C-alpha cells in the first residue's frame, strides 16, 4: 500500500499491481510479499506506486495471512511482510494498472466484477477512463513475454487444504512469475521510454 521503488530510477509512470486469489490469506499475499521483495532486491527501470493483494471472497476480511504463508516467507528470508485481508472492490479497477489472478476461477470473478463496473458506468453515461489490465499471474513468462490469451498461463494452486509443501510450491511459482512480470514491465518501459 506504500510507495515502492525509487521513482527517480524509473523511465515512465510508476506501476500499480493488485494480486488476487480467493480469500487473500495464502496465494495473493504470498505473491504480493514475493513481488515486493523481488522489486526491492532487483535493479530495475520500473518503479511502483502501489503493490497490494485482495480476495474475491469475503471469508477472511481483516485476517492476517495464513500462518503457513508467513512461515514459508520467513524460511525464504522475507521477514518484513504484513497484510490484512480484504476483498477486491470496483475502485480497484481504476486504482491499479494490473490486476493479476492466481487461477481461472479468480480470473472469472474479477472479469465479472470488471464487466459489471463497465455496464454501470455506461448506463450512467459516464466515461470509463483507465481500467486495469486483468490477467493470470502465470501469463507472464520467464523471458518477459506474455501469453496471448488472458488465461493461457499456468495457475497457482490453492494450498489452503494441504500441507506445508503446497505453500513451498506456491512460493516457487510466484517467484518465477514475479521475475517474468518484472521483465515484461521493463520491456514495456523500454518501448515507451
27 an active-site residue? yes
Do 76 and 108 touch, CB atoms closer than 8 A? no
Distance CA 76, CA 171 (A): 9
127 — phi, psi (to 5°)? -80, 135
Beta bridge partners of 123: none
Structure-block grid coordinates of residue 125? 453515461
> What one-character DSSP code corresponds to residue 158?
-
> Which of 27, 36, 68, 135 is labelled catalytic?
27
- Given the residues 105, 149, 158, 190, the one annotated as active site: 158
Structure-block grid coordinates of residue 100: 493479476
Q: Is 158 a catalytic residue?
A: yes
Phi/psi at 54 (nearest 5 deg)? -155, 175
Residue 21 annotated as catalytic: yes
Active site residues: 21, 27, 158
Amino acid at each position: 500500500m506504500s510507495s515502492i521503488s525509487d521513482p527517480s530510477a524509473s523511465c515512465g509512470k510508476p506501476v500499480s499491481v493488485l494480486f488476487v486469489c480467493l480469500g487473500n490469506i495464502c496465494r495473493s499475499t504470498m505473491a504480493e510479499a514475493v513481488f515486493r521483495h523481488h522489486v526491492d532486491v532487483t535493479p530495475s527501470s520500473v518503479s511502483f506506486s502501489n503493490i497490494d493483494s485482495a480476495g474475491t471472497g469475503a471469508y477472511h476480511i481483516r485476517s492476517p495471512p495464513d500462518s503457513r504463508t508467513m512461515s514459508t516467507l520467513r524460511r525464504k528470508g522475507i521477514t518484513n511482510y504484513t497484510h490484512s485481508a480484504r476483498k477486491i472492490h470496483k475502485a480497484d479497477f481504476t486504482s491499479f494498472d494490473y490486476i493479476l489472478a492466481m487461477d481461472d476461477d479468480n480470473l472469472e470473478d474479477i472479469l465479472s466484477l470488471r464487466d459489471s463496473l463497465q455496464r454501470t458506468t455506461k448506463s450512467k453515461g459516464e466515461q470509463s477512463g483507465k481500467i486495469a489490465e486483468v490477467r493470470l499471474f502465470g501469463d507472464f513468462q520467464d523471458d518477459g513475454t506474455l501469453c496471448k490469451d488472458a488465461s493461457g498461463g499456468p495457475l497457482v494452486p490453492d494450498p489452503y487444504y494441504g500441507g506445508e509443501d503446497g505453500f513451498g510450491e506456491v512460493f516457487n511459482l510466484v517467484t518465477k512469475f514475479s521475475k517474468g512480470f518484472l521483465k515484461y514491465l521493463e520491456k514495456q518501459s523500454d518501448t515507451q521510454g
